[in-house]
Amino acid sequence: MKQPQVIETVSDLRAVVRDWRSQGLSVAMVPTMGALHDGHVSLMRIALERADRCVVSIFVNPTQFAPTEDLDKYPRQLAADLERLAHAGVQLAFTPTAAEMYPHGFAAKIAIGGPSAGLETDFRPTFFDGVATVVAKLFLQALPDCAIFGEKDYQQLCVVKKLCRDLDIPVEVIGAPTVRDAQGLAMSSRNAYLSPAELAVGRQLNTILRHAASALQLGADPGETLETARLHILEAGFGRVDYVEARESDTLAPWRRDRAGRILAAAWLGTTRLIDNIEVTGI
Amino acid sequence: MKQPQVIETVSDLRAVVRDWRSQGLSVAMVPTMGALHDGHVSLMRIALERADRCVVSIFVNPTQFAPTEDLDKYPRQLAADLERLAHAGVQLAFTPTAAEMYPHGFAAKIAIGGPSAGLETDFRPTFFDGVATVVAKLFLQALPDCAIFGEKDYQQLCVVKKLCRDLDIPVEVIGAPTVRDAQGLAMSSRNAYLSPAELAVGRQLNTILRHAASALQLGADPGETLETARLHILEAGFGRVDYVEARESDTLAPWRRDRAGRILAAAWLGTTRLIDNIEVTGI
């Protein structure tokens, strides 16, 4: 099992990619914050089906955490992460420091508008500015042919696609299906925070969203259906529901029954916030 | 004299650049808003000294004009512009429509911070967001090796350099000396708005700034020197002075006597706003 090459600087990253390009090899990127799980591994597999080489970035990006959020306790486990990359056949790990990504005097910010409005932004107002800016930087550092993002963070996927479209970043952004455990819980690095009792509650989120999606597809009233879902999430044992909403699946504009849609939800279990989403087929 | 190829779409632009790259040719870009004058031509000459091929974009970017500004009356003269490109030996003119640059639903915005603070921004608050966003798009559409910007728009030059540095856009940004007429007036497309009497007044701006720079270099007090310059600009016949300031030449932070600096000024002649700037050597 071949260990991935590990590099920490943009100039080294560019040198490796330049070398690959000179051999005519195509390149896929999987940006991550580490604490890798089977969901991430599925992205790497797709990357290596799409391209000759895969670079996985591991960077816990401070600019997408609010001061009240879990930046300090966010799980960091580089050795275990590198083992997963080796298993997946990934050739390159890019593990920049915060100083490499944001040198003294750094001041740029990208705001995306469009799909970044509402949902997560109502609760994490600067989150997608941080995501868009760091993803733009990673893409422009590596200039891969394509990049793979999980549908688990569905709004993020839409924001990254819009980022590339609006700013003409020449990277194809590919969404990958959410990986779930046997009981339907979406894989997330933050699941590591959950107690066994919380895990059992968390596993009901996807079931509740699936029921709501079926109801909408069968013609139920959206307002009532989403309110019922919200109550079910609370009854299941979640402490607070940030949102349960139906949106158009590409623009994230409010859902209309004739369009492909997505139900997106965020809810709290103790001090841990879980998000999930599910497709609603247009009628 | 070979006419430049003229293209209007991003996909055509990428196809031409891809073809050049496949031949091992290097590429320089000169972004402009058209109404080309000898200042622009000097940028093209530098571009063709630096690279095998030069693409000049001609796009009057609506997002960098405020509603009160001169977007509608900004001079447009494509045929004459293409003549100048042909004379300069430029191979490619990129003349996108507003719809090509900003398709329906476009919503991204890049804010640069740092050198964009103050000066122009005090009077044109959204100007550099518009500049940074359109320049990022042009750079990512063409991916040239380098791009040439005039020192005439000195704060813009600093903003574009910072844009590339902070977002890791792999384009070398090169500043080029301001081209002036025989009496020292900086070339500008907006000079076309000036009456003969206003032209005579406008030509004094550079002289006044040169005197101020000499005074600072000889040790004069910065506050007094700049206030004197402001009064001289008004006495020359300008109607209003937006600013006359001394800044550090790279960061545009307030100037300190031991650093290389720049005096930057903006003043009005009737309804036309002129800007100029001059180097101050550090002592």
ipTM metric: 0.94
Interface membership of B112 toward A (CB under 8 Å)? yes
- Output the CA–CA distances (angstroms, integers) from residue A276 to A114, A185, A243, in the order listed: 20, 9, 11
Interface membership of A168 toward B (CB under 8 Å)? yes
Are A131 and A159 a contacting pair, CB within 8 Å?
A: yes
Average confidence (pLDDT) per 10 residues, chain A, 283 residues:
95 98 97 96 98 98 92 93 98 98 97 96 96 98 98 98 98 98 95 95 97 95 97 98 97 93 97 96 72
Residue of A21, A109, A165 for testing the chain B interface, max B β-carbons within 10 Å: A109
Are A247 and A264 a contacting pair, CB within 8 Å?
A: yes
Are A82 and A4 a contacting pair, CB within 8 Å?
A: yes
A179 is in an annotated binding site: yes
Q: Measure the CA–CA gap between B119 and B74, rounded to whole angstroms.
A: 22
CB contact under 8 A, A168 and B111: no
Per CB-CB distance under 8 Å, the chain A contacts of B113 are 107-109
Homologous superfamily (CATH) of A5-176 is HUPs (3.40.50.620)
- Side-chain-side CA neighbours of A11 within 13 Å: the count stands at 1
Write the CB contacts of B223 (distance below 8 Å, at least 6 apart in sequence): none
Q: Which two tokens stand for residue A250?
A: 């590409």
Instruction: Look at residue B283 and tell me whether its pLDDT is greater than 70.
Output: no
Q: Measure the CA–CA gap between A203 and A199, rounded to whole angstroms.
A: 6
User: C-alpha angle A88/A91/A93, rounded to 5°?
Assistant: 95
- The domain defined by B189-277 carries CATH number 3.30.1300.10: yes
Interface membership of A109 toward B (CB under 8 Å)? yes
Instruction: Look at residue B166 and tell me whether its pLDDT is greater than 70.
Output: yes
Interface membership of A210 toward B (CB under 8 Å)? no
Cα B96 → chain centroid: 19
- Side-chain-side CA neighbours of A188 within 13 Å: the count stands at 19
Write the CB contacts of A94 (distance below 8 Å, at least 6 apart in sequence): A7, A8, A13, A55, A56, A57, A58, A59, A138, A141, A142
Q: Measure the CA–CA gap between B145 and A109, rounded to whole angstroms.
A: 24
Per CB-CB distance under 8 Å, the chain B contacts of A108 are 110-113, 132, 162-163, 166-167
Of B105, B112, B140, the CB nearest to A108: B112
Per CB-CB distance under 8 Å, the chain A contacts of B131 are none
CB contact under 8 A, A108 and B162: yes
Per CB-CB distance under 8 Å, the chain A contacts of B105 are 114, 251
Per CB-CB distance under 8 Å, the chain A contacts of B166 are 106-108
Active site residue A104: no
Predicted confidence at residue A1, as pLDDT, reads 82
Q: How many CB atoms lie within 10 A of CB A47?
A: 26
Of A105, A111, A140, the CB nearest to B109: A111
Interface membership of B133 toward A (CB under 8 Å)? yes
Write the CB contacts of A60 (distance below 8 Å, at least 6 apart in sequence): A33, A34, A71, A74, A76
Q: Which has the minimum average pLDDT: A207-216, B66-75, B162-171?
A: B66-75
pLDDT digits (tens, 9 = 90+) for B22-42: 999 999 999 999 999 999 999
Q: How many CB atoms lie within 10 A of CB B225?
A: 22
Interface membership of A206 toward B (CB under 8 Å)? no
Q: Measure the CA–CA gap between A184 and A206, rounded to whole angstroms.
A: 6
Of B108, B143, B168, the CB nearest to A166: B108
Are A266 and A186 a contacting pair, CB within 8 Å?
A: no
Q: Which residue on chain A is closest to B171 by alpha carbon? A: A140
- Side-chain-side CA neighbours of B140 within 13 Å: the count stands at 27
pLDDT digits (tens, 9 = 90+) for B130-150: 999 999 999 999 999 999 999
Per CB-CB distance under 8 Å, the chain B contacts of A140 are 140, 167-170
Q: Which residue on chain B is closest to A24 by alpha carbon? A: B22
Cα end-to-end span (Å), chain B = 48
- The pLDDT-based confidence of B282 (bands split at 50, 70, 90) is low
B187 is in an annotated binding site: yes
B113 is in an annotated binding site: no
Instruction: Look at residue B74 and tell me whether its pLDDT is greater than 70.
Output: yes
Residue of B59, B100, B104, B109 for testing the chain A interface, max A β-carbons within 10 Å: B109
User: What is the full DSSP assignment across A59-78?
Assistant: ---GGGS-TTSSTTTS---H
How many residues can be counted in chain A?
283
B87 is in an annotated binding site: no
Mean pLDDT over each residue of chain B, to the nearest integer: 96
User: What is the full DSSP assignment across A8-62?
Assistant: -SHHHHHHHHHHHHHTT--EEEEEE-S---HHHHHHHHHHHHH-SEEEEEE---G
pLDDT digits (tens, 9 = 90+) for A153-188: 999 999 999 999 999 999 999 999 999 999 999 999
pLDDT digits (tens, 9 = 90+) for B253-265: 999 988 999 999 9
Residue of A141, A165, A168, A172 for testing the chain B interface, max B β-carbons within 10 Å: A168
pLDDT digits (tens, 9 = 90+) for B96-128: 999 999 999 999 999 999 999 999 999 999 999
Per CB-CB distance under 8 Å, the chain B contacts of A141 are 168
Residue of B12, B94, B100, B168 for testing the chain A interface, max A β-carbons within 10 Å: B168
Rounded to an integer, the average pLDDT of B183-209 is: 96
Q: Measure the CA–CA gap between B38 and B47, rounded to whole angstroms.
A: 14
Of B107, B137, B168, the CB nearest to A168: B137
Q: Which residue on chain B is closest to A137 by alpha carbon? A: B167
Interface membership of B108 toward A (CB under 8 Å)? yes
Residue B234 DSSP SS3: helix
CB contact under 8 A, B167 and A108: yes
Burial of A195 (0-12, 13-18, 19+ CB in 10 A): exposed
Report strand pairing: A109-111 vs A272-280: unpaired
Q: Which residue on chain A is closest to B252 by alpha carbon? A: A105
A87 is in an annotated binding site: no
CB contact under 8 A, A166 and B106: yes
Q: What secondary structure letter does DSSP report for B60?
A: -
Residue B229 DSSP SS3: helix
Interface membership of A35 toward B (CB under 8 Å)? no
Q: Where are the domains of chain A?
A: 5-176, 189-280
Predicted confidence at residue A281, as pLDDT, reads 86
Selected from 2.60.40.1180, 1.10.10.1100, 3.30.1300.10, 3.40.50.2300, the CATH number assigned to the domain covering A189-280 reads: 3.30.1300.10
> What are φ and ψ of residue B59, in 5° steps?
-155, 115
Question: Of A260, A251, A248, A65, which Cα lies nearest the Cα of A158?
Answer: A251
